Amino acid sequence: MRSTLALTLALGFAVFPGFPALSQDVAMAQSDVTGETPEAVDPLEPRSAIDLDLNDFLWISRPIVVFADTEADPRFREQLALLAERPGPLLERDVVIIFDTDPDAQSEIRRQLRPRGFALVLMDKDGAVNLRRPSPRDVREIIRAIDNMPIRIEETQ
């Protein structure tokens, strides 16, 4: 967790203070995933894909996975900045941000999703890949994609 925070700060992006509280159910479910208390969970703090399993997020969160071959990739930095600009709509949609900037580490998530260079992958709560893009996308486009997902449509009804 500290290395994720250090990476975020090193890239020049502030940790997002003042997020609205999550619903108790989501916070408790995420505490089971991370082993932390709900108060310590910041769902939009980017998490390294190393030692994470996408199955841990099934039916709890919608992973946004950002891949790059290095953390110095300008597209990677731009994508994190775009996600940081509008955290509210992402929180409302139970998004969790995961990044992988080390192809040599061969994380399980990288093996499953097989990116080539930079990639943005949006998954639904059922584990299905719903959006895969080779360039950064703004939150507005991501929200539109989420709002068209069948599970999200059920959630809003």
Cβ–Cβ under 8 Å, residues 104 and 68: no
What is the rounded CA–CA span in Å between residue 130 and residue 13? Answer: 27
Total domains in the chain come to 1
- Do the domain assignments include residue 29? no
Band of pLDDT at residue 16, cut at 50, 70 and 90: very low
Mind listing the pLDDT tens digit for each residue in 114-125?
A: 999 999 999 999
Question: How many Cα neighbours within 13 Å face the side chain of 85?
Answer: 11
Q: What is the CATH number of the domain that holds 131?
A: 3.40.30.10
Q: Is the pLDDT of residue 2 over 50?
A: no
Domain-embedded: residue 99: yes
Asked, for residue 21, whether it belongs to a domain, the answer is no
User: At 35, is the pLDDT very low, low, confident or very high (cuts 50, 70, 90)?
Assistant: low
- Whether residue 62 is contained in a domain is answered as yes
- Looking at per-residue pLDDT, the higher value among 29 and 48 belongs to 48
The strand ranges marked E within the chain are 47-48, 62-67, 95-100, 119-123, 129-133
- Give the whole-angstrom CA distance, residue 147 versus residue 151: 9
Phi/psi of residue 24, each to 5°?
-60, -35
Question: How are the residues of the chain apportioned to helix, strand and coil, as percentages rounded to the nearest 5?
Answer: 45, 15, 40
The pLDDT of residue 8: 42
Say how far apart CA 97 and CA 84 lie, in whole Å. 10
61, exposed or middle or buried, with CB in 10 Å at 0-12, 13-18, 19+? Answer: buried
What is the signed CA dihedral for 135, 136, 138, 139, rounded to 10 degrees?
110
Identify the pLDDT of residue 27.
Answer: 43
CA 102 from chain center: how many Å? 16
Indicate the residue type of 145. Answer: A
Is 67 part of any domain? yes
The model carries a pTM of 0.75
Inside any domain, residue 50: yes
Is 32 a domain residue? no
Digit-coded pLDDT (tens) for 39-84:
456 778 999 999 999 999 999 999 999 999 999 999 999 999 999 9
What range defines the domain where residue 140 resides? 2-13+43-156
What are the pLDDT digits (tens) for 108-147? 999 999 999 999 999 999 999 999 999 999 999 999 999 9
Inside any domain, residue 94: yes
